[in-house]
Amino acid sequence: MAAALCPCRAVLARRGGALRALCGSVRGLAAGPETHFGFQTVTEAERREKIYQVFESVAKKYDVMNDSMTLGIHRVWKDILVHKMNPSPGTLLLDVAGGTGDIAFRFINYVRSVRERQLQRKLKHHQNLSWQEISESYQEDKSKSLGDSQVVVCDINKEMLKVGKQKAQHLGYSEGLSWVLGNAEELPFDDDMFDVYTIAFGIRNVTRIDLALQEAYRVLKPGGRFLCLEFSHVSNPLLSRLYDLYSFQVIPVLGEVIAGDWKSYQYLVESIRRFPPQEELKAMIEDAGFFKVDYQNLNSGIVAIHSGFKL
Amino acid sequence: GQGQGSGSARLEPSLLRFLVCPLSKRPLRYEEATNELINEELGIAYPIIDGIPNMIPEAARTTRKKPPAEGSKQP
């Protein structure tokens, strides 16, 4: 991809040390601090650009690829996230890097079913009302099937949002759902706004994770909850080897066959390896000011849900 | 929500209560004529495309051509 910029970089990426620093400083004086794109070393500006291109390229096939790569298990992970959130009607959710809407739709479904159960319970207690009164109470409740719950989906990528919005239209989601093109590192929302902030399989692609966490803290109400669903590290050695094999041998091939895009999925696999493990991410979340930070491993650490509260 | 026609480029009213300028975190004004969210202080406008506000600072345009001069905005 950007190998032309520095021929020695590909070799140095593995060697590290003084040579890499020299190469980087000679090449990247204006472009900013160094970071990684998968296993390559790039400047922050380059990384943002490359990641944007990855998602621009995969947007239309994003959902199909998720199903293929994870054999549909990503759906379960996302279900677990929303169940853990356990939102009640009236909850305000900000879903960051939520592109194609998976978390947003689940949130809406969950809140709707909670609301329905609430209504049913209410009706059970109204046994001696007249039919007139019952139908009136039905009507006023029906107009708030979400009970004032709202989800704002924020993503930095136009193509991903486009896909998400189309999906929403197609599946019939409109009430309580909004879409914003924005940067997780620089959110266009006021302080103390949201009850819950989620970022599912997105934080890995953020260039300055510390800034994103600070912004998450800022926009949450006191008492608000931060929830992060992301690929993490598998400590079991046998499982780890199988996982590596699957990741490096199967996934890029799937990427090429299904989406015609080997490189993007190569990036995906590498970015997962580069991402901080559970304890390190926990520390970063605590650094942003969150309390009661903990994590829950899913599938032995292939994925983890980190949670924290703003007090 | 309200019956939104297809291809509506207009902003969802409920979003306005959440959005601020990502740079200054200050409130924005919705300009219906140009379908933009304006930060008067900094003199920048964020476009709304297909109903989705683009709140990336790099995408915003400046509303003032000359800093002091007249107060009128050019489309």
ipTM: 0.78
With contact defined as beta carbons under 8 Å apart, do A264 and A284 qualify? no
Cα A113 to Cα A78, A89, A98, A145, A208, distances in angstroms: 17, 10, 22, 9, 37
| Closest Cα in chain A, distance from residue B39 (Å) | 12
B25:A190 CB<8 A: yes
Residue A31: pLDDT band with limits 50, 70, 90: low
Kindly list the residues from chain A whose CB atom is less than 8 angstroms away from the CB atom of residue B16. none
Report the C-alpha gap between A15 and A35 in whole angstroms.
Answer: 15
Domain A51-310 in CATH 3.40.630.30? The answer is no
* Closest partner CB to A182 (pick from B4, B51, B56): B56
- Which CATH topology does B13-62 take? N-terminal domain of TfIIb (2.20.25)
The alpha helices in B1-75, defined as continuous H runs, are: none
Of B23, B52, B59, the CB nearest to A179: B52
Number of other CB atoms surrounding residue A119 within 10 Å:
17
State yes or no: pLDDT of A208 exceeds 90.
Answer: yes
Which chain B residue shows the shortest CA-CA distance from A152? Answer: B15
Query: B2 pLDDT exceeds 50?
Result: no
pLDDT in tens, A155-199: 999 999 999 999 999 999 989 999 999 999 999 999 999 999 999
Residue of B nearest to A169 (CA): B6
**B40 against B13, higher pLDDT:** B40
Chain B residues with at least one Cβ partner in A under 8 Å: 1, 4, 12, 14-15, 18-23, 25, 27, 46, 50-57, 59
**This model's pTM is above 0.80:** yes
**Residues A150, B14: C-beta atoms closer than 8 Å:** yes
Chain A residues near any Cβ of chain B (below 8 Å): 150, 152, 156, 158, 161-162, 165, 174-176, 178-183, 186-191, 193
- Structure tokens, A130: 């007249």
Distance from CA of A193 to the nearest CA of B (A): 7
Domain residue ranges of chain B, discontinuous segments joined by +:
13-62
Mean pLDDT of all residues belonging to chain A: 86
Task: Supply φ then ψ for residue A91, to 5 degrees.
Answer: -75, 140
Place of tokens 């499982």: A239
Region of A270 (left: φ > 0; alpha: ψ -120 to 50; beta: rest) is alpha
Nearest by CB to residue A178, choosing from B14, B22, B23, is B14
Q: Does residue A142 carry a pLDDT above 90?
A: no
pLDDT at A3 over 60: no
User: Residue A225's pLDDT is what?
Assistant: 98
Report, as an integer, the average pLDDT of A109-133: 83
